[in-house]
Amino acid sequence: MTDAKQDSAAFDVAVIGGGIAGVSAARAVADTHSVVILEQENELAHHSTSRSAAIFVENEGGPIFHRLATASRPFLETEHSELDAPLLDPLPVLKVGSEAERPVLQAEAEQAAQITSPVRLIDDGELYELAPMLNPEFVSIGVYEPTAASVDVMALHQLYLRRARNHGAQVRRSARVTALSRAPHGWTIETTDGTIGAAVVVNAAGAWGDVVGQLAGAKPLGLTPKRRTAFTSPVEADPTDWPFVYSQIADRTCYFKPEAGNQLLCSLSEENPTEPCDAKPEEIDVAQAIDNINHLTTLGLRSVNITWTGLRTFAPDRNPVFGWDDSVDGFLWLVGQGGCGIVSSAAAGDVAAALIREQSLPAALTQLGVTEQDLAPRR
Ligand SMILES: Cc1cc2nc3c(=O)[nH]c(=O)nc-3n(C[C@H](O)[C@H](O)[C@H](O)COP(=O)(O)OP(=O)(O)OC[C@H]3O[C@@H](n4cnc5c(N)ncnc54)[C@H](O)[C@@H]3O)c2cc1C
């Protein structure tokens, strides 16, 4: 080590990554364990967490994510005394398709309805009443989730962080973990801000999950970060009462979400594999999104205000990985949240805390049929 500080502080738990997953895990475990959050950037939530579409939707990402979102809902719906406004603001979600997508959307609605949320298939008059901007020539069916909501992601992140700190958790910014070595008593963690000791490491490094895993000597999970760009665009009509519309139409994928000030938050909903990085927008993805939205609607989008890109990181089976590594002691994976890391964050933190405390999974999850094996790294 050259100019880095020497710091022999020993913690029960070192969480690598200060995004939504890391701070939720810290919040959940800090009342019983000493915790340090290590973040490579000089601010927390710099990567995927601050770049989402901020939607709380249960029927998204398949049955496991659906159940994690359902289990997370009570935390997000609670009126937390630290906050001036609710975390959730009702915003129904409408996944739309053409007749070609009817069988897939029908199957999805039936599967979702078996879990919890009141998801249902709609078409004809009801569809165009809910989403008057849709072009009936191309869109004829939708899966409607009336209980979805817009979520205040930064308030949620701050809430988790505040709870963690209130229980004594420490935060080290600009502390990129560069080496991890395991001795019988625990980990020695080298960072760009000094060396730290911890009994347990939680890998909440998002797109860098496999990079951090390899530092610990764990076999890579095969995580793939995928770029997705979003942008805002002004519309003439007042979109306040519109749902979040998400096209599942092959070759015409896109989504748009009403925002304040007659703006829509839009995306092509693309998934472009990449290395872990500070992802930047590519003009072609924005242009294609505008073309698709204008094809499927009467909106006639013309201009773009703000554009950003984030990474959604998937395990090979697209399910989350929340569990102990099977060959490296004291190394807990909390990765693979794909496009559902915000909605699943409360449950993710609770799972991490339960595993660290050697308890069973939270009842909210087991009652929905989620097992440790469903979430385990080698399933
Ligand atoms: C356009 C877009 C729209 C989305 N919309 C939604 C949505 O509506 N709802 C939803 O639930 N999800 C959505 N998502 C997904 C969601 O944003 C992610 O699943 C979630 O933010 C992942 O959180 P995280 O904490 O795992 O990762 P991150 O927020 O990326 O945090 C990981 C952190 O680890 C740090 N790190 C990495 N390596 C190291 C190291 N070696 N040392 C120290 N620190 C390290 C990184 O700097 C980073 O801050 C969207 C994503 C995108 C891109």
Same domain, residue pair 162 and 143: no
CB 14 within 8 A of CB 332: no
Per DSSP, the three-state class of 254 is strand
Last residue of a domain, one of 312, 334, 364: 312
Residue 64 resides in a domain: no
Same domain, residue pair 162 and 308: no
What letter does residue 58 receive in the DSSP assignment?
S
Residue 353 resides in a domain: yes
Please report which confidence band the pLDDT of residue 6 belongs to, taking 50, 70 and 90 as the band edges: very low
Distance CA 311, CA 122 (A): 32
Same domain, residue pair 335 and 368: yes
User: Ligand 1: does its nearest atom lie under 6 Å from the Cβ of 345?
Assistant: no
Ligand 1 atom nearest to 311, measured from its CA: 53
Neighbours of 316 (CB within 10 A): 11
Distance 47 CA to ligand 1 centre (A): 5
Ligand 1 binding pocket mutation candidate from 16, 41, 49 (most atoms within 8 A of CB): 49
CATH classification of the domain holding 99: 3.30.9.10
Give tens-digit pLDDT for 175-190.
Answer: 999 999 998 889 999 9
Domains in the chain, number: 2
What are phi and psi for residue 40, nearest 5 degrees? -70, -30
User: Ligand 1: does its nearest atom lie under 6 Å from the Cβ of 337?
Assistant: yes
Distance 50 CA to ligand 1 centre (A): 8
CATH classification of the domain holding 211: 3.50.50.60
Taking Cα atoms as reference points, which of 14, 20, 68 lies closest to residue 47? 20
User: Ligand 1: does its nearest atom lie under 6 Å from the Cβ of 257?
Assistant: no
Same domain, residue pair 212 and 333: yes
Report DSSP letters for 133-194, one per residue: TB-TTT--EEEEETT-EEE-HHHHHHHHHHHHHHTT-EEESS--EEEEEEETTEEEEEETTE
Per DSSP, the three-state class of 297 is strand
Ligand 1 atom nearest to 17, measured from its CA: 34
Supply the pTM of this predicted model. Answer: 0.97
- Domain hosting residue 186, numbered range: 10-50+153-222+317-375
Same domain, residue pair 103 and 214: no
What letter does residue 377 receive in the DSSP assignment?
S
Same domain, residue pair 104 and 240: yes
Distance 205 CA to ligand 1 centre (A): 8
Give tens-digit pLDDT for 206-221.
Answer: 999 999 999 999 999 9
| pLDDT at res. 9 | 64
| pLDDT at res. 142 | 97
Distance CA 23, CA 36 (A): 10
User: Ligand 1: does its nearest atom lie under 6 Å from the Cβ of 342?
Assistant: yes
Of the candidate ranges 28-37, 181-190, 339-348, the one whose mean pLDDT is the lowest = 181-190
Distance CA 103, CA 143 (A): 11
Which amino acid belongs to residue 141? I
Long-range contacts of 2-8 (CB under 8 A, 24+ apart): 4/190, 4/191, 4/192, 4/193, 4/194, 4/195, 5/193, 5/194, 6/194, 6/195, 7/193, 7/194, 7/195, 7/196, 8/195, 8/196, 8/197
Angle, CA of 342, 345 and 347, to the nearest 5°: 145
Distance 309 CA to ligand 1 centre (A): 11
Taking Cα atoms as reference points, which of 14, 8, 36 lies closest to residue 171? 36
| pLDDT at res. 117 | 79
Same domain, residue pair 228 and 142: yes
